[in-house]
Structure 1
């Protein structure tokens, strides 16, 4: 009886694995949706943990950036406890006197220890700072692993 239960469990596991092939994405996570949702959670971890964005500290317009321009995660920010009320369009022509502000997040890079993400914030002309942050996944979701490292200052 016990052997039959083990065989049944093993057969179920093989069937489940065979019916859900992995697409390219994060190791151990299926497909691009998992990658996108992890990207969102990593960004939210930096937004809350490093920048301290929240109801009393509203972020400047959000700018999601990738070198190839092919990265557009569809994030439900409320799911992660953060809000980005406006977005930044770098291609929009600016008028003289316009205040240019943004918080920028690059596409996270994942490895066996978690993720690294480049971010930056611009408060105004010659008033900004870039950082590189290590983010790890655990019981509490994605969280900062220590302090972010400065990469640029203006």
Structure 2
């Protein structure tokens, strides 16, 4: 179904780690640690600035992969793993892109399910890797039928 997309990569998309967005994100996940929201605390930290929570890259744009059209509903979030070289700093530019790593299918009790493995990358303005995010999206039989496959 999506095997032809394996190896395809989106173009890099510029994001800015905005202070207010980090604050709202931290509040929404119930983690108001001062390293995320208190400017003075951030300046005094070993990073010299506030940082974003570890799962913050989820809200960053990473471009689109040409031709890949996933439905807006009916997908299942299977897995998500983050790896960091260093934290995301409030105020910095981050360039993100996605790559389709794999697609495979398994037979389930309600029919065939597809597993789409994607990897997102975040780099600084010098092209140095900051983080990667690996995720698996599960495409149920019902969704597969709606896509006419």
- Using structure 1 for the length normalisation, give the TM-score: 0.29
Higher helix proportion (structure 1 or 2) = 1
Q: TM-score, normalised by structure 2?
A: 0.29
Return the index of the structure with the highest Cα Rg: 1
Q: Which of 1 and 2 has higher RCO (CA within 8 Å, sep 6+)?
A: 2
Q: Which has the higher strand share?
A: 2
